[in-house]
């Protein structure tokens, strides 16, 4: 029997020119300014006088083909068959005529897609795969995000926050969801449980030893089998050993908790970019709607909304009011676990008598 | 019609509420596919037991060493058979989207048709890696689905210890704040490293991200091993008509509180128009017939704040280019590191400029490949060896823009000081 013909891949990276909306192609690199006529709509004006209106809508990110086809039908009807997606999984329709803006918004909302996510709104959560697909997740992603966005739905559709708000969620400390104004991240609280029967066959032991940030893992002979052991006094429960060695199970239905981080900002606007800081931990991983986590996230957001000045991102707001007042106003508890002792940590201590009363 | 659904009381809760529900989408797919009936059962089991049940493995396509994320179920009965047998395999194929994530509907429908035929019908637009995530496929169908997608002109994204799929902002296509052609830079850099994307052979992952200005919409500074962030060298551009329009609408209080006092380097002052300085590094925009907002462009750090607030009245300059920051990465293992300045400014105007950018990328990859430890990102490597050794390795001269402050401790041998000064002066004289 003849061997089947194996097709070689065609390696190339795509040019985006043929996918651009005609107004984008015609005015590429020649835009003059923009404004936002209403939440969810951007209006860009080119040096040539051309104008384009962009309507942004939220999606569930993990989309079935029927949803994508529906979004395509809407694009064909209103937007010359072109769309683009933002980094936070919002879809954008570009319109050549202002008269199409209102009918498109009506059509999107009728079809279940909220229009918003622009300017000083709370936009869609950047998130990870979670239980649906990841091999090491401590929690789900799409479900946490769905429940969170249900609660923030009106804020997505309005532009009423002090400045834009980016949220993220991550199912382990690798933090694929990324830095954000507020991030929800799994925080394990117990060392890995090791299945010593499997380690020798599944794990490359020197790799696993090298992966530990605090050198808590060492080779050991357990029940006559080569395995690994963890110095539990040293272990920081980060879970870094779990991906290279699945028999070192770090996820635990009870002890894998959720932590909340605030004040990440990637933009250089005003202050330099900042990393987010942990402000709460020990929250239960409570599907299907994670009410404890969502209550705290919403509380931080509403406190920020009420107290921050225009254009202050969450980090800018805390910079002004100070950390003690952040904890006071949000009702969160500042504990010893929030004082950093990792490398470079002294830079996070208050080396001054700058104290607010 | 597919087989009967498993009960999913927990997932059903995620069909409530106004935000679009992925569960409703999964259920719609499950009407036609046994595969998705079992995926829903599998996910419900995770919700009930609060654990994940997918393990990795090895699945790929001919010619490539990565790009498929294999997933096999770990929910087995006592005999070792999959409990959700139609969802025993749930692999993802990562596909690189066009730069800026622009699409025509024919292309999106093509993806839908291929994935309805060979996969689960579930597509994530987009994953955090910047890929189109074709989620859920059996081992048998991965090659078939890939062949069709590849024949439609799309290529596989990166996974594992490889150059990864890059991301670029909407940029020049729509944004007046764009300081270079982000899509062109994205395309030229990625096309140089296709082999390093498709055949993982680096110490660990390496990510490129391209943002057109300091707003950094691609989050490059925190996530990319090499971040290319647009900026400009000359004066900010101004438009008096739009300045007056902005001021008429917003007034003096907002100008002071939201613009002038939020400038991080105090480069802004309100002046009577007749008193605006005439120096070449000063620009000004009219607020009304007698007052202006003056910008001292020598003090300005190109943070974008005032341009964001007074869009059009203030704008980026004409002598545009990019800064290159190297070493961003997330928590594991040493703690998150921010990208730091390695090239303060590169002009990005003609083809030679873009080729120079590719050369910088090439040196960054080469040095990483040779010098990083296994599973060490560039930021971690720089922390280990020091920035000066890194710069010498990639052939870049030191620059005071690379630091927040000079050294704060005396623990360094400086017996080469005079030679260094002489070398730097000789270079300056030759330039």
For the record, the structure tokens of A337 come out as: 């676990």
Residue B176 DSSP symbol: T
Nearest to B226 by CA among B339, B367, B97: B339
Average pLDDT, chain B: 96
B147 and B186 part of one domain? no
User: Shortest Cα distance from B370 to chain A (angstroms)?
Assistant: 19
pLDDT, tens only, B186-225: 999 999 999 999 999 999 999 999 999 999 999 999 999 9
pLDDT, tens only, B71-111: 999 999 999 999 999 999 999 999 999 999 999 999 999 99
- Measured between CA atoms, the residue of chain A closest to residue B117 is A65
Domain boundary among B315, B350, B385: B315
A288 CB-near residues (< 8 Å, 6+ apart):
A143, A147, B10, B11, B13, B14, B47
Question: CB of B170 within 8 A of CB of A21?
Answer: no
- Restricting to A residues 83-102, those with a Cβ less than 8 Å away from any Cβ of B are 83-87, 89, 91, 94
Question: CB of A42 within 8 A of CB of A56?
Answer: yes
- Residues pairing with A274 in the sheet: A265
For the record, the structure tokens of A241 come out as: 């050993």
Residue that the structure tokens 């971040």 belong to: B227
CA distance B328 to A46: 34
Using only the alpha carbons of chain A, give its radius of gyration: 24
Residue B158 lies in a domain: no
∠ CA B402-B408-B411, rounded to 5° = 105
Spell out which residues of chain B touch residue A266, defining contact as CB-CB under 8 Å. Answer: 216, 219-222
CB nearest to B304's CB, from A44, A253, A268: A268
Is the Cβ pair A63, B122 closer than 8 Å? yes
Least confident of A159-163, B8-12, B17-21, B334-338: B334-338
B365 and B243 part of one domain? no
Mean pLDDT value across residues A253-264? 96
Return the residue in B44, B53, B104, B329 with the most chain A beta carbons within 10 A, the one to mutate for interface testing: B104
CA distance A214 to A341: 12
pLDDT, tens only, A2-38: 666 778 888 887 789 999 999 999 999 999 999 999 9
Number of domains present in the structure of chain B? 3
CA distance B394 to B342: 10
Domains and CATH numbers, chain A: 17-110 (3.30.70.3340), 130-189+253-346 (3.30.413.10), 193-248 (3.30.70.20)
B389 CB-near residues (< 8 Å, 6+ apart):
none
B78 and B104 part of one domain? yes
Residue B161 lies in a domain: no
B243 and B307 part of one domain? yes
Q: Note whether B123 contacts A: Cβ–Cβ < 8 A.
A: yes
CA distance B396 to B361: 12
Residue A337 DSSP symbol: G
Residue B298 lies in a domain: yes
Residue A343 DSSP symbol: T
CATH of the domain at B409: 3.30.413.10
Spell out which residues of chain B touch residue A65, defining contact as CB-CB under 8 Å. Answer: 29, 112-113, 115-116, 121-123
pLDDT, tens only, A29-70: 999 999 999 999 999 999 999 999 999 999 999 999 999 999
Is the Cβ pair B29, A137 closer than 8 Å? no
B67 and B207 part of one domain? no
pLDDT, tens only, B214-257: 999 999 999 999 999 999 999 999 999 999 999 999 999 999 99
Q: What domain range is B367 assigned to? A: 167-225+323-430
B117 and B20 part of one domain? yes
Nearest to B290 by CA among B262, B271, B309, B263: B271
pLDDT, tens only, A294-350: 999 999 999 999 999 999 999 999 999 999 999 999 999 999 999 999 988 999 999
For the record, the structure tokens of B134 come out as: 């074709």
pLDDT, tens only, B118-150: 999 999 999 999 999 999 999 999 999 999 999
pLDDT, tens only, A117-153: 999 999 999 999 999 999 999 999 999 999 999 999 9
B189 and B336 part of one domain? yes
- pTM for this predicted structure: 0.96
Please check the confidence at residue A216 and state whether its pLDDT lies above 60: yes
CB nearest to A19's CB, from B104, B123, B194: B104
pLDDT at A2: 63
Task: Output B70-76 pairs: Cβ under 8 A, ≥24 positions apart.
Answer: B70/B139, B71/A133, B71/A135, B73/B42, B75/B42, B75/B45
CB nearest to A14's CB, from B62, B153, B305: B153
CA distance B359 to A206: 35
Mean pLDDT value across residues A104-124? 97
CATH of the domain at B248: 3.30.70.20
Residue B182 lies in a domain: yes
CA distance B337 to B329: 5
B137 and B207 part of one domain? no
Is the Cβ pair B21, A52 closer than 8 Å? no
For the record, the structure tokens of A7 come out as: 């097709």
A333 CB-near residues (< 8 Å, 6+ apart):
A280, A327
Spell out which residues of chain A touch residue B90, defining contact as CB-CB under 8 Å. Answer: 133
Q: Note whether A193 contacts B: Cβ–Cβ < 8 A.
A: no
- Restricting to B residues 281-320, those with a Cβ less than 8 Å away from any Cβ of A are 301-305, 308-309, 311-313, 315
* Alpha helix positions (H), B16-138: 22-30, 34-49, 105-118
Residue B147 lies in a domain: yes
B59 and B103 part of one domain? yes
Domain boundary among B151, B180, B195: B151
Residue B2 lies in a domain: no
DSSP letters spanning A279-333: EEEEE---TTT-HHHHHHHHHHHHHHHHHPPTT--HHHHHHHH-HHHHHHHHTPP
B15 and B124 part of one domain? yes
Question: CB of A71 within 8 A of CB of A59?
Answer: yes
Strands B167-168 and B208-211: parallel
Residue B146 lies in a domain: yes
Q: Note whether B338 contacts A: Cβ–Cβ < 8 A.
A: yes
pLDDT at A219: 96
- Measured between CA atoms, the residue of chain B closest to residue A115 is B19
CATH of the domain at B143: 3.30.70.2500
CB nearest to B176's CB, from A31, A238, A240: A31
B128 and B184 part of one domain? no
Residue B373 lies in a domain: yes
CA distance B383 to B390: 10
Domain boundary among B265, B280, B315: B315
Q: Note whether A347 contacts B: Cβ–Cβ < 8 A.
A: no
Spell out which residues of chain A touch residue B335, defining contact as CB-CB under 8 Å. Answer: 342-344
B245 and B217 part of one domain? no
b/e code B37-52 from CB counts within 10 Å (16+ = b): bbbbbbbbbbbeebbb
For the record, the structure tokens of A27 come out as: 């005015």
Is the Cβ pair A34, B25 closer than 8 Å? no
- Restricting to B residues 149-208, those with a Cβ less than 8 Å away from any Cβ of A are 150-151, 153-156, 167, 169-170, 172-176, 178, 181, 183, 187, 190-191, 194, 198
Spell out which residues of chain A touch residue B107, defining contact as CB-CB under 8 Å. Answer: 19
pLDDT, tens only, B366-386: 999 999 999 999 999 999 999
A211: enclosing H helix or E strand: helix A205-211
Q: What is the 3-state secondary structure (H, E, C) of A119-188?
A: CCCECCCECCCHHHCCCCCCCCCHHHHHHHHHHHHHHHHCCCCCCCECEEEECCCCCCCCCCCEEEEEEE
User: Shortest Cα distance from B327 to chain A (angstroms)?
Assistant: 14
Write the burial class of residue A346 (CB in 10 Å: 0-12 exposed, 13-18 middle, 19+ buried): exposed
Q: Note whether B329 contacts A: Cβ–Cβ < 8 A.
A: no
Q: Note whether B10 contacts A: Cβ–Cβ < 8 A.
A: yes
pLDDT at A6: 77
For the record, the structure tokens of A339 come out as: 């004082």
CB nearest to B214's CB, from A72, A178, A267: A267
């Amino acid at each position: 029997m003849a061997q089947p013909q194996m097709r070689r891949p065609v390696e190339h990276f795509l040019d985006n020119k043929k996918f651009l909306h005609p107004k984008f192609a015609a005015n590429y690199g020649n835009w003059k300014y923009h404004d936002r006529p209403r939440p969810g709509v951007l209006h860009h004006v080119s040096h040539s006088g051309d104008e384009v209106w962009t309507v942004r809508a939220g999606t569930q990110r993990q989309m079935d083909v029927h949803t994508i086809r529906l979004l395509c039908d809407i694009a064909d009807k209103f937007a010359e068959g072109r769309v683009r997606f933002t980094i936070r999984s919002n879809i954008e329709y570009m319109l050549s005529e202002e008269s199409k803006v209102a009918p498109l918004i009506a059509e999107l909302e009728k079809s279940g897609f909220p229009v918003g996510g622009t300017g000083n709104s709370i936009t869609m959560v950047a998130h990870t795969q979670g239980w649906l697909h990841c091999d090491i997740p401590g929690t789900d992603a799409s479900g946490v995000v769905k429940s969170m966005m249900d609660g923030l739905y009106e804020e997505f559709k309005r532009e009423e926050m002090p400045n834009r708000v980016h949220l993220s969620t991550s199912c382990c400390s690798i933090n694929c969801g990324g830095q954000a104004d507020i991030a929800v991240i799994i925080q394990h609280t117990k060392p890995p449980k090791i299945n010593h029967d499997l380690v020798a066959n599944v794990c490359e032991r020197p790799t696993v030893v090298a992966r530990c940030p605090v050198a808590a893992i060492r080779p050991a002979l357990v029940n006559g089998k080569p395995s690994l052991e963890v110095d539990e006094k040293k272990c920081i429960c980060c879970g870094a050993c779990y991906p290279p060695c699945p028999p070192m199970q770090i996820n635990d239905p009870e002890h894998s908790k959720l932590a909340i981080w605030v004040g990440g900002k990637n933009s250089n606007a005003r202050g330099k970019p900042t990393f987010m800081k942990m402000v709460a931990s020990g929250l239960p991983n409570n599907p299907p709607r994670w009410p404890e986590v969502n209550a705290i996230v919403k509380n931080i957001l509403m406190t920020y909304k009420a107290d921050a000045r225009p254009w202050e991102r969450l980090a800018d707001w805390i910079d002004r009011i100070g950390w003690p007042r952040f904890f006071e106003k949000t009702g969160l508890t500042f504990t010893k676990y929030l004082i950093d002792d990792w490398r470079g940590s002294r830079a996070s201590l208050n080396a001054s008598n700058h104290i607010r009363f | 019609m597919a087989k009967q659904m498993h009960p999913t009381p927990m997932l059903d809760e995620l069909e409530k509420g106004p935000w679009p529900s992925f569960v409703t989408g999964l259920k719609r797919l499950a009407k036609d596919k046994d595969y998705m009936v079992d995926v829903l059962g599998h996910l419900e089991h995770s919700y009930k037991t609060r654990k994940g049940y997918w393990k990795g493995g090895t699945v790929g396509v001919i010619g490539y060493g990565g790009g498929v994320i294999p997933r096999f179920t770990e929910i087995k009965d006592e005999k070792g058979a999959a409990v959700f047998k139609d969802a025993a395999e749930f692999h993802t194929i990562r596909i690189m989207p066009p730069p800026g994530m622009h699409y025509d509907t024919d292309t999106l429908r093509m993806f839908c048709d291929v994935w309805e035929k060979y996969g689960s019908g579930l597509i994530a637009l987009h994953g955090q890696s910047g890929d189109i995530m074709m989620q859920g496929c059996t081992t048998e169908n991965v090659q078939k689905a890939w062949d069709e997608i590849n024949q439609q002109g799309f290529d596989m994204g990166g996974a594992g210890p490889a150059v990864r799929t890059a991301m670029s902002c909407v940029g020049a296509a729509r944004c007046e704040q764009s300081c270079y052609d982000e899509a062109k830079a994205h395309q030229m850099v990625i096309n140089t490293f296709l082999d390093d994307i498709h055949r993982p052979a680096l110490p660990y992952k390496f990510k490129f991200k391209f943002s057109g200005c300091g707003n950094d919409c691609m989050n490059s500074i925190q996530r990319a091993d090499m971040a290319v962030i647009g900026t400009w060298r000359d004066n900010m551009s101004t438009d008096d008509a739009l300045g007056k329009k902005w001021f008429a609408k917003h007034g003096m209080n907002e100008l002071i509180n939201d613009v002038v006092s939020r400038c991080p380097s105090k480069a802004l002052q309100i002046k009577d128009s007749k008193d605006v300085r005439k120096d070449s590094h000063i620009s000004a925009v009219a607020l009304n017939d007698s007052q202006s907002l003056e910008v001292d462009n020598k003090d300005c750090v190109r943070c974008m704040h005032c341009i964001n607030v007074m869009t059009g009245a203030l704008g980026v300059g004409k002598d545009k280019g990019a800064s290159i920051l190297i070493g961003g990465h997330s928590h594991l293992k040493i703690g998150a590191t921010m990208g730091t300045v390695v090239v303060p400014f590169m002009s990005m105007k003609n083809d030679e400029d873009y080729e120079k950018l590719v050369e910088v990328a090439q040196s960054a990859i080469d040095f990483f490949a040779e010098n990083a430890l296994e599973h060490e990102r560039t930021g971690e490597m720089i922390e280990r060896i020091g920035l000066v050794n890194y710069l010498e390795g990639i052939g870049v001269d030191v620059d005071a823009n690379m630091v927040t402050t000079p050294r704060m401790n005396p623990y360094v041998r400086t017996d080469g000081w005079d030679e260094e000064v002489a070398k730097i002066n000789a270079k300056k004289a030759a330039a």
